[in-house]
């Protein structure tokens, strides 16, 4: 994640003013390689946490566009410590491709003593082992546009040129009030700061409710980058933001429009098959010790509702436009039963 609670580690959350860190490494991987990083199959590795909404954008985009073979994936432990995100899910606690124990090692190979924290998503250059970019706002836009030569046949256009102005406007509003707004509420250090952030979250959600009551997707009649960015916050709303971040005026499941919209996307290949609720809950409740000092992870909410009918197809729309759904989840990237609805 790209969070900054004052630089004193996990215990600082809720005790120091929250500020979203800017991406210090903003190089782009492009078709023409103008930043020195040309698109090339197999050259780069995406490092992501399934707990993190910013990283989850890249997971969804990668699946929808069929970039699994071109851009390999490393999933970090949802429980990071004050040093960095860790590769403790892998044998010997080491990423098998990069050969490192901590994501910070890839950062250090790029720049020693860099300012800011170690965030995901991150794309690492495999030959050098150095970080290329942690620009979470730009990574998915480039996957949708600069990486097009490596897209699967039938990949959707997630950032259609004719709709980019509207997509950008919607994404900016969602970022300010919803994506980042829940953090500003959750990490607020005084009542006034919390109330302002929480009020903005629900004001924007109500405006989005009005928008989505009459259209299946946020912009146009197909899934776009705007839907991906809203989804990754909505899917975390009831499990963590409602309670842990005190965004509790109402639950997502109590809003018929947004709940149906979120379920529609969750049940669309490329969305729900990247979501690990176990990782999400354990990360927020166990890492943010400044606002949850006991580290207790709640049992709820019940997840089976994510698989119930949503009836959003009645609004029309074509999820993939002229394209097709992505294929099966690659072997080794499946979500364990504990992290998805319907587990035994």
Report, as residue numbers or ranges, the catalytic residues: 52, 183
203-to-78, 176, 259, 327 alpha-carbon distances in Å: 31, 12, 16, 37
Q: How many other CB atoms sit within 10 Å of the CB of residue 99?
A: 10
Order across the sheet with 44-48: list the strands: 72-75, 44-48, 122-125, 130-133
Does residue 165 contact residue 219 with C-beta atoms inside 8 Å? no
Helices (H) and strands (E) in the chain, counts: 9, 6
221-to-217, 227, 269, 317 alpha-carbon distances in Å: 6, 11, 17, 4
Residue closest to 144 by CA, chosen among 65, 28, 223, 36: 65
């Amino acid at each position: 994640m790209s969070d900054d609670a004052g630089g004193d580690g996990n215990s600082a959350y809720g005790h120091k003013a929250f500020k979203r860190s800017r991406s210090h490494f903003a190089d782009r991987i492009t078709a023409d390689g103008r930043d020195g990083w040309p698109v090339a199959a197999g050259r780069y590795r995406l490092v992501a946490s399934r707990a993190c909404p910013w990283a989850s954008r890249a997971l969804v985009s990668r699946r929808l566009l069929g970039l699994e073979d071109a851009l390999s994936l490393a999933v970090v432990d949802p429980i990071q410590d004050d040093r960095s995100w860790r590769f403790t899910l892998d044998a010997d606690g080491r990423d098998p491709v990069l050969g490192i124990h901590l994501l910070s090692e890839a950062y250090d190979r790029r720049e020693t003593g860099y300012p800011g924290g170690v965030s995901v998503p991150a794309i690492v250059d495999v030959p050098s082992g150095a970080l290329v970019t942690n620009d979470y706002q730009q990574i998915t836009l480039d996957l949708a546009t600069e990486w097009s030569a490596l897209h699967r046949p039938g990949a959707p256009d997630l950032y259609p040129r004719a709709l980019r102005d509207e997509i950008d406007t919607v994404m900016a509003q969602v970022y300010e009030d919803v994506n980042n707004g829940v953090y500003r509420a959750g990490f607020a250090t005084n009542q006034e700061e919390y109330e302002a952030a929480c009020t903005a979250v629900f004001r924007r959600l109500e405006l989005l409710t009005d928008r989505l009551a009459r259209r299946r997707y946020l912009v146009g009649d197909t899934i776009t980058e705007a839907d991906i960015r809203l989804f990754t916050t909505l899917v975390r709303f009831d499990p963590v933001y409602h309670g842990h971040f005190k965004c509790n005026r109402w639950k997502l499941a109590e809003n018929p429009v947004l709940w149906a919209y979120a379920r529609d996307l969750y049940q669309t290949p490329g969305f729900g098959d990247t979501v690990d609720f176990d990782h999400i809950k354990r990360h927020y409740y166990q890492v943010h010790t400044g606002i949850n000092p006991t580290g207790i992870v709640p049992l709820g909410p019940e997840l089976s509702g994510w698989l119930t009918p949503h009836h959003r197809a009645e609004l029309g729309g074509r999820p993939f436009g002229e394209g097709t759904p992505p294929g099966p989840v690659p072997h080794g990237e499946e979500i364990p039963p504990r992290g998805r609805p319907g587990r035994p």
